[in-house]
Structure 1
Amino acid sequence: MTTEAVYGSWNSPITPELFGKCNCKTICEMQVVGENVYWIEQNATTGKRELYSKPTNGGDTRTRWADGFSVQTAVHEYGGGALHVLADGSVLFATVEGVFYQKSADSGVEQLAEANNRMFRFADFSATDSHVFCVNETHQSGQKYPENRLISIDRSTKNQNVVASGADFYAYPRVSPDGSKLVWMEWSLPNMPWDETSIRMADLKGGETSNPVILKNGAGKQINYSEPTWNGDELLTVNDSTNWWNVYSSAAEPNAVEKNLNPIQREISYPLWQLGFRNYVANKEYLVSETSGSCHEKSVMNANGILYVRSADITREIPTPGYTVFGYLSIDPNGSEVFAIASGPKRDSSVISIDLKLPGFPLKVHRESRDSSEIDSLEISEPEEVIFKSDGVNVSGYFYPPKNSAYSAPPGTLPPVLLLGHSGPTAPAFNNLDLRKQFFTSRGVAVFDLNYRGSTGFGTEFRRMLYKNCGVVDRDDMLNGAKALIEQGRVDADKILITGSSAGGFLILSCLISPNNVIKAAVSRYGVADLLALDEDTHKLEKSYNELLIGKYPKEAMIYEERSPIYHIEKIRTPIAFLHGKEDTVVPMSQSVTMFEKIRASGVTTALMLFDGEGHGFRNGKVIKESTEATFYFLMKAVGIEPSISSNIEIVNPKI
């Protein structure tokens, strides 16, 4: 028998405590070599990143590597590319203290390079028997922005040598199988790594390069080249010359003819916010690629992934029941089993493998961040794709209806809806499991996760619609999405809620200052409020990002001011809370503090929570718990619903 109670007031077993009762928070990086698979997982309690391996042929016994180290990097502030497994099964890994080598899990750890109090940062590795090649970022005292370059590290002497410099950024240094060539990706401001980039190559001898040449050049052509990979003597790369990131093969020489290996209107890549992504892999027999998104003309716009395998010039789709999102693909040079980090609507991040030589492509699960049996015991709201028109453009999102069999709502009532503005702003919204969404749906609140213009997965043209229009078209998409749900009779028009982080925080604030605003309550997590201040304070990777999204500064400073919510406090009459980490180096805490103080002074309902030790993103289990509870509590109180949980958030200027 169900209990009748208003939407948003339901009790639920999906609590923040449940978030931390898992095998790990997430699986971050992964690589298979020989008969073992290696991965990094983030501890759910400490947030530290731990390195493990296990045999690929069965068994659940994990072996801990790098015990006591947190395997992660901080290049570009967002990190990535912390792990590289050598052919003999030994590992190279990075921490914020430097670069390390470990021959076996039970041997000692040897330091190859020192960070010198985090002045030097290292990531994205490739290696020969004698040298390690990687991205290096040097933060010198007195310099506002670091120097980025590629270096080699002599594994015997530990001497370092610069092998490529002059561009603003580097990624994917990859040594050819015979050790004679080094290929890499590079780009310079104002481009982001998903804009105009180049692929270069140089002869390699020991730890030195010579005769550098440009293999692929997108400069002035609006072409993005990414993920250079060797497949024997052949070079594979990704580019978006057809509007879609596809995989191409060519000879490793300038102006070589390229062949699109699987020409489809889907994306085989993601924006390179973090180093080391592998969205396709190849060996002498197989090419496996992960694709996301789809063609608008088919009115199917989901950003979820499909795995394709190409063998003997035949491309086939791989069935992956239960899994829809993939990353960090890996395959042994002599193997037939492809590995990936995968997740789905009812599956958390997991290390899976698929045997490509067996009929039906059998799928095996090696490690789950949360046991699937535990997930299956919960009531999980699975999303429906909703497509709507915004300024004449097809835009989509994932709608998660409330789900809790212990409760029913009063007849004739509709649920509140929480709009989610993803960060990036290029990051896509996927339909994979997120218990924070289920925290809301199980309490009677619908969730709508939008892929607004600028999102990845729908082609380069769709992604670039945000350029010069940030804070305008994405805002319109969020508000039009809410209106579409109202018109379809799915949600209560008086209980439209919104939350977002980072760029998503700017997005929700933009909605609140819009004359077409329909939002009734909001929570900004480490969100951008002042574009002018951000332009002064931001780090090197995003130094010119605002120029692409907004306009040139200071020439177009008026546009920055016009779109910065902090200069339009008088337009904000919607209750809003601000949550921010005190150690945030991407969006300074001062942006949220200033917004809170100004809104408090204007008499609007507001709140502020600051978290010690947290940077850009909430990782500590205690902080995740407190921020989740505070978000729900504030939003419910703001729209007149008595929440089923409590919070220590202090609401200022309460109206209820």
Structure 2
Amino acid sequence: MATEAVYGSWDSPITPDLFGKCNCKTICEMQVVGDNVYWIEQNAVTGKRELYSKPTNGEKRTRWADGFSVQTAVHEYGGGALHVLTDGSVLFATVEGVFYQKSADSGVEQLAEANNRTFRFADFSATDSHVFCVNENHQGDAKFPENRLISIDRSTKNQNVVAKGADFYAYPRVSPDGSKLVWMQWSHPNMPWDETSIRMADLNGGEASNEMILKDGAGKQINYSEPTWDGDELLTVNDSTNWWNVYRSAAEPNAVEKNLNPIQREISYPLWQLGFRNYVLNKKYLVMNADGILYVRSENVTVEVPTPGYTVFGYLSLDPNGSEVFAIAAGPKRASSVISIDLSNPSFPLKVHRESRDSSEIDALEISEPEEFVFKSDGVNVSGYFYPPKNSAYSAPTGTRPPVLLLGHGGPTAPAQNNLDLKKQFFTSRGIAVFDVNYRGSTGFGTEFRRMLYKNCGVADRDDMLNGAKALVEQGRVDPDKILITGSSAGGYLILSCLISPNNVIKAAVSLYGVADLLALDEDTHKLEKSYNELLIGKYPEEAAIYQERSPIYHIDKIRTPIAFLHGKEDTVVPMNQSVTMFEKVRASGITTALQLYDGEGHGFRNGQVIKDSTEATFYFLMKAVGIEPSISSKIEIFNPKL
């Protein structure tokens, strides 16, 4: 029989200790070549990224690059650390440079030296003689490194610049015959999902010549991305229809493009990290990830591929001669996994090769599955995923409604997705509803929706969060006196914006490495996002008044809501002094508050113990702030507590 207890006070087997009791924290990158699949997984305890492979029809895992953490730091967010060559040998990057390993039991050869992170490398393509990649040179201005494409001679280790002059580069891809190099580039003030271009050059060994523009979105508000060779033709993604779709064209300037799957869904993702593959092809198949739906095109016919249990996909991969498409996938009751689907079989059988958390362990837990909840905000349809409380061991007193935890995702382009997140289940299993909101600016709803946040950051997204909470209250889903919110990075700025709004309905908040001072961020932030604020808010210093108006740090007097601040001491994206200053000012104003700083953590917590500590601190603070006795303890020190 269920125990009656107030929402939010329930005990649960889903604890932060469970987060680390898994095969790995997440699966980060993946590629299939021949009869083997290779992937990078993040160790749940150390946070280091480890490289493995296994036969596609076998179970034995093999460790590569033993002792190395396979990851990059280009654009500060990294990505594009792994490239498997056609013979099954691997190229990989670490913060120490570029490395080659012929087989898992052979030695590791260094091809390029990072010189104490002065040079960064990512996003590889290769010929028999040369490696081509994105290179970031930090020799000069530390805040404004030079980005370029380079070649590395595999025998002499000599490097050569093959493209420079733009602010950023991605997706260098060598043509099948090795004669041409194609890539994506963009410059400030654009982000990689704004106006970009696709360029091409002739190759002679590691030298490039005759650079030409194939596709140019400058001044046209068109985003071009993910160039991929199809023989001597080219596939790219663009959003000229308001939706990212895949197009084929000749590899020449002003070539006519054919949309290969014209749908009102996104076949791409904002390029925060390098190396994403949202579509993949070989001689027989083209597979596209359209915002959680896989489509396969073969012999000019496109069909939807059933993926029972899985709703989120990335890093699609096909062997040139294979019929199995591989992906990193997840779903409402499935953690990130390496899966494959046999495209040659009409029933599309799905096989699981590696799970970050065993599905049998997940199935033994009570998982709250989300429903899409749509509401109006400023006349616009906005949606999110609503997770009701779920724990059969408890029932709430009759007539009561649960607290709701609003989640403001980061980016702000990153979408709220419905894949398994035990942090959400940590809350739902304790009697707290979770609402993960896809506010204006989120990805997955077309370019126009994503651009609704431009010039309106801190206003449109704030209104969407508050209006979403009000809609849940109006439908009787949640307790209006226990509306909670947490968010990280841009999501942290979002929650602070809610707290200074005259329409604020939030009763307690936790900001994780959130932005508090837009003026300071404009001075401190790194190169990739140097002009992002210009798009989201306005030109600086011409529109400095808007920056000040929307910076929570200048409106401490408006914050009457209990709030805690959690931040990593090594954060290079949002310096920790933003959280420290906010905490000190909020504490001085008499509002309930707390501060937790973590040694060795950057922008995003990776260490297992820190993830445990920060999750417990978040829950404990929120419950205490709204008068619920939490079922767990935390070492977080709360100042100005409500008595």
What is the aligned partner in structure 1 of residue 208 from structure 2? Answer: 209
Q: CA deviation at 1:477?
A: 0.1
1:538 is aligned to 2:537: no
Alignment of 1:129-144 (within 5 A): 129-144=128-143
Alignment of 1:350-389 (within 5 A): 350-389=337-376
Query: What amino acid is the match of 1:154?
Result: D
What is the aligned partner in structure 2 of residue 475 from structure 1? Answer: 462
Q: CA deviation at 1:231?
A: 1.1
Between the aligned partners of 2:231 and 2:86, the Cα distance in structure 1 is: 15
Task: Give 3-state SS (helix, strand or coil) of 1:199's partner.
Answer: strand
What is the aligned partner in structure 2 of residue 297 from structure 1? Answer: none
Between the aligned partners of 1:319 and 1:245, the Cα distance in structure 2 is: 21
What is the aligned partner in structure 2 of residue 298 from structure 1? Answer: none
Instruction: After superposition, give the CA deviation of every residue in 1:582-628 in whole Å (9 maximum; x if it has no partner).
Output: 00000000000000000000000000000000000011000000000
Between the aligned partners of 1:167 and 1:141, the Cα distance in structure 2 is: 16
What is the aligned partner in structure 2 of residue 428 from structure 1? Answer: 415
Q: CA deviation at 1:538?
A: 0.3
Between the aligned partners of 2:446 and 2:516, the Cα distance in structure 1 is: 28
Instruction: After superposition, give the CA deviation of every residue in 1:524-567 in whole Å (9 maximum; x if it has no partner).
Output: 00000000000000000000000000000000000000000000
Between the aligned partners of 1:551 and 1:9, the Cα distance in structure 2 is: 44
What is the aligned partner in structure 1 of residue 566 from structure 2? Answer: 579
What is the aligned partner in structure 2 of residue 195 from structure 1? Answer: 194
Q: CA deviation at 1:234?
A: 1.2
Between the aligned partners of 1:270 and 1:21, the Cα distance in structure 2 is: 30
1:222 is aligned to 2:221: yes
Between the aligned partners of 1:385 and 1:107, the Cα distance in structure 2 is: 50
Between the aligned partners of 2:316 and 2:233, the Cα distance in structure 1 is: 19
What is the aligned partner in structure 2 of residue 65 from structure 1? Answer: 64
Q: CA deviation at 1:141?
A: 4.5
Among 538, 543, 547, which residue is 1:560 paired with?
A: 547
1:126 is aligned to 2:122: no
Between the aligned partners of 1:421 and 1:120, the Cα distance in structure 2 is: 34
TM-score, reference length from structure 1: 0.98
Q: CA deviation at 1:225?
A: 0.1
Task: Give 3-state SS (helix, strand or coil) of 1:153's partner.
Answer: strand
Between the aligned partners of 1:313 and 1:338, the Cα distance in structure 2 is: 18
Instruction: After superposition, give the CA deviation of every residue in 1:190-241 in whole Å (9 maximum; x if it has no partner).
Output: 0000000000000011000111110000000000000000011110000000
What is the aligned partner in structure 2 of residue 15 from structure 1? Answer: 15
1:167 is aligned to 2:166: yes
TM-score, reference length from structure 2: 1.00
What is the aligned partner in structure 1 of residue 275 from structure 2? Answer: 276
RMSD between aligned alpha carbons?
0.5
Q: Which runs of 5 or more residues in structure 1 are unaligned?
A: 293-304
What percentage of aligned pairs have identical amino acids? Answer: 89
Query: What amino acid is the match of 1:31?
Result: Q
What is the aligned partner in structure 2 of residue 86 from structure 1? Answer: 85
Between the aligned partners of 1:473 and 1:359, the Cα distance in structure 2 is: 45
Alignment of 1:334-349 (within 5 A): 334-349=321-336
Between the aligned partners of 2:136 and 2:35, the Cα distance in structure 1 is: 34
1:618 is aligned to 2:605: yes
What is the aligned partner in structure 2 of residue 405 from structure 1? Answer: 392
Query: What amino acid is the match of 1:64?
Result: R
What is the aligned partner in structure 2 of residue 29 from structure 1? Answer: 29
Task: Give 3-state SS (helix, strand or coil) of 2:528's partner.
Answer: helix
Runs ≥4 residues deviating over 6 A: none
Between the aligned partners of 2:422 and 2:603, the Cα distance in structure 1 is: 20
Task: Give 3-state SS (helix, strand or coil) of 1:444's partner.
Answer: coil
What is the aligned partner in structure 1 of residue 491 from structure 2? Answer: 504
1:631 is aligned to 2:618: yes
Between the aligned partners of 2:216 and 2:36, the Cα distance in structure 1 is: 37
What is the aligned partner in structure 1 of residue 252 from structure 2? Answer: 253
What is the aligned partner in structure 2 of residue 106 from structure 1? Answer: 105
What is the aligned partner in structure 2 of residue 300 from structure 1? Answer: none
Q: CA deviation at 1:140?
A: 1.3
Task: Give 3-state SS (helix, strand or coil) of 2:617's partner.
Answer: helix
Query: What amino acid is the match of 2:134?
Result: V
Between the aligned partners of 1:425 and 1:47, the Cα distance in structure 2 is: 24
What is the aligned partner in structure 2 of residue 157 from structure 1? Answer: 156
Distance verdict in 2 for CA 1:475–1:274, change over 3 Å: same
Distance verdict in 2 for CA 1:601–1:351, change over 3 Å: same
Between the aligned partners of 1:356 and 1:580, the Cα distance in structure 2 is: 45
What is the aligned partner in structure 1 of residue 589 from structure 2? Answer: 602
Q: CA deviation at 1:268?
A: 0.3
Query: What amino acid is the match of 1:14?
Result: I
What is the aligned partner in structure 2 of residue 296 from structure 1? Answer: none
Query: What amino acid is the match of 2:73?
Result: A
Q: Which runs of 5 or more residues in structure 2 are unaligned?
A: none
Distance verdict in 2 for CA 1:142–1:194, change over 3 Å: closer
What is the aligned partner in structure 2 of residue 117 from structure 1? Answer: 116
Instruction: After superposition, give the CA deviation of every residue in 1:100-128 in whole Å (9 maximum; x if it has no partner).
Output: 00000000000000000000000000000
1:54 is aligned to 2:54: yes
What is the aligned partner in structure 2 of residue 301 from structure 1? Answer: none
Between the aligned partners of 2:141 and 2:319, the Cα distance in structure 1 is: 45
Q: Give the length in aligned residue pairs.
A: 643
Between the aligned partners of 1:637 and 1:529, the Cα distance in structure 2 is: 24
Q: CA deviation at 1:144?
A: 3.2
Between the aligned partners of 2:176 and 2:77, the Cα distance in structure 1 is: 29
Between the aligned partners of 1:615 and 1:621, the Cα distance in structure 2 is: 14
Query: What amino acid is the match of 1:27?
Result: I
Between the aligned partners of 1:78 and 1:143, the Cα distance in structure 2 is: 16
Task: Give 3-state SS (helix, strand or coil) of 1:386's partner.
Answer: strand
Between the aligned partners of 2:552 and 2:371, the Cα distance in structure 1 is: 32
What is the aligned partner in structure 2 of residue 96 from structure 1? Answer: 95
Q: CA deviation at 1:142?
A: 4.7
Among 643, 647, 653, which residue is 2:630 paired with?
A: 643
Between the aligned partners of 1:555 and 1:253, the Cα distance in structure 2 is: 41
Q: CA deviation at 1:143?
A: 4.6
Task: Give 3-state SS (helix, strand or coil) of 2:243's partner.
Answer: coil
Distance verdict in 2 for CA 1:444–1:120, change over 3 Å: same
Query: What amino acid is the match of 1:612?
Result: D
What is the aligned partner in structure 1 of residue 505 from structure 2? Answer: 518
Between the aligned partners of 2:435 and 2:33, the Cα distance in structure 1 is: 40
Instruction: After superposition, give the CA deviation of every residue in 1:417-454 in whole Å (9 maximum; x if it has no partner).
Output: 00000000000000000000000000000000000000
Between the aligned partners of 1:116 and 1:44, the Cα distance in structure 2 is: 28
Instruction: After superposition, give the CA deviation of every residue in 1:8-59 in whole Å (9 maximum; x if it has no partner).
Output: 00000000000000000000000000000000000000000000000001x3
Task: Give 3-state SS (helix, strand or coil) of 1:540's partner.
Answer: coil
Task: Give 3-state SS (helix, strand or coil) of 1:542's partner.
Answer: coil
Query: What amino acid is the match of 1:89?
Result: G
